[in-house]
Amino acid sequence: MDRRSFVKGAGALAAAMLAPRAAFAQEAWPAQAVRIVVPFPAGGSADVLPRIVAEALGPIWKQPIIIENKAGAGGNIGAEAVAVARPDGYTLMAAPPPPIAINHNLYPKMNYDPTKFKPVTIMGSAPNVVAVSNKLGVKSVQELIAAAKANPGKINAANQGNGSTSHLTASMFEVQAGVKFNHVPYRGTAPALNDLVAGHVDLFFDNIASSLAQHQAGNIRILAVCSDERVEQLPQVPTVAEAGLKGFSATAWFAIMAPEGTPESVVAKINKDVVAVLKTPEVRKKFIDQAATPIGNSPQEAAKFIDSETRLWADVIKKADVKLAN
């Protein structure tokens, strides 16, 4: 055998030996604990929904799945931690729109590029609602608009943080209704909702998953939902569009993202398993109990959706002239 034939044969043998090992390594994922960073505090939908998914994934992955709340800077702190993590699938992010589709239109400088994340899937969505304190004394969207026009800048509108969907939904409402609120940012949903119940703030464009129970208990009043159609959980409550602001629509969604460079095979594995659990009756029921709609789309569909949402919120920020210091 000449040298060229020997080298060629040795190379083929080496490739044949490595192929099963590569396949085995791929099939073995996950071989250790998986960390899912939630860049917002515990207590809101951004925290609850990934915990539901993680609980269902446990028996499939047979590894610990750790939910880590890493809040701050409108979700940027947690997102940055994921952006610089080793791209091996063992560090993921579960987040609503701000650190993915909003913040780069608000913050003059960020230490990560949200467009570099690899979308895995959109877990689910939940429409925002117009929720008011019982102390405010309004019972409809039209009454809210009238009160805001009579008291410009005096109605305190809580939000989940500067640049959150609740903040931008309030800004969208201001533009369309011709009113002005006093924006009060909080560190997440739970403290904002607590202050709404206590009457320390007047208004909160919360997502329905968080506010529904308090509305049903009579502690707050949901005046309208911000979806295109009425929701099953509140059939008697009109949409904002039905209440007079035509075309008004704002929905919170919750995505799983992986760091740039994560292998496509790992992204595909995570997507496959997450989508599978989102289709189970148990997980679907838990999402619906949270007034959230399970989705579970492909990475390509998630990327296209995120791109459209990025354009939507960029337009709102521009038209409402939203600034971080409200």
Q: What is the CATH number of the domain that holds 312?
A: 3.40.190.150
Claim to verify: residue 45 and residue 121 sit in the same structural domain: yes
Claim to verify: residue 141 and residue 119 sit in the same structural domain: no
Claim to verify: residue 207 and residue 279 sit in the same structural domain: no
With both helix axes pointing from N to C terminus, report the angle between 281-289 and 264-278 in degrees, rounded to the nearest 10. 80
Please identify, among 210, 225, 240, the residue that sits at the C-terminal boundary of a domain.
Answer: 225
Claim to verify: residue 138 and residue 219 sit in the same structural domain: yes
Claim to verify: residue 43 and residue 190 sit in the same structural domain: no
Confidence at residue 21, expressed as pLDDT on a 0 to 100 scale: 41
User: Is 186 a domain residue?
Assistant: yes
Confidence at residue 23, expressed as pLDDT on a 0 to 100 scale: 42
For residues 225 and 234, give the distance between their C-alpha atoms in angstroms, rounded to a whole number: 9
User: Is 42 a domain residue?
Assistant: yes
Claim to verify: residue 277 and residue 258 sit in the same structural domain: yes
b/e sequence 231-257, b meaning 16+ C-beta within 10 Å? bebbeebbbbbebebeebbbbbbbbbb
Confidence at residue 44, expressed as pLDDT on a 0 to 100 scale: 81
Range of the domain at 198: 129-225
The count of residues in the chain is 326
pTM score of the predicted model: 0.82
Claim to verify: residue 82 and residue 161 sit in the same structural domain: no
Where the chain has pLDDT below 70, the residues are: 1-27, 325-326
DSSP 100-146: IIIGGGT-S--SS-GGGSEEEEEEEEEEBEEEEEGGG---SHHHHHH
For residues 77 and 83, give the distance between their C-alpha atoms in angstroms, rounded to a whole number: 10
Claim to verify: residue 265 and residue 316 sit in the same structural domain: yes
Which residues does residue 92 pair with via DSSP β-bridges, in sequence order?
36
Joined tokens for residue 10 = 């040795």
Residues whose CB falls within 8 Å of the CB of residue 208, separated by 6 or more in sequence, listed in order: 126, 127, 128, 129, 222, 225, 231, 233, 234, 291
Please identify, among 225, 240, 270, the residue that sits at the C-terminal boundary of a domain.
Answer: 225
Claim to verify: residue 90 and residue 56 sit in the same structural domain: yes
**Number of Cα atoms under 13 Å in the Cβ half of residue 143:** 13
Claim to verify: residue 161 and residue 298 sit in the same structural domain: no
For residues 256 and 120, give the distance between their C-alpha atoms in angstroms, rounded to a whole number: 5
User: Is 50 a domain residue?
Assistant: yes
User: Is 23 a domain residue?
Assistant: no
Claim to verify: residue 134 and residue 118 sit in the same structural domain: no
Confidence at residue 27, expressed as pLDDT on a 0 to 100 scale: 54
Claim to verify: residue 91 and residue 140 sit in the same structural domain: no
Confidence at residue 79, expressed as pLDDT on a 0 to 100 scale: 98
* CATH code, 212: 3.40.190.10
Total domains in the chain come to 2
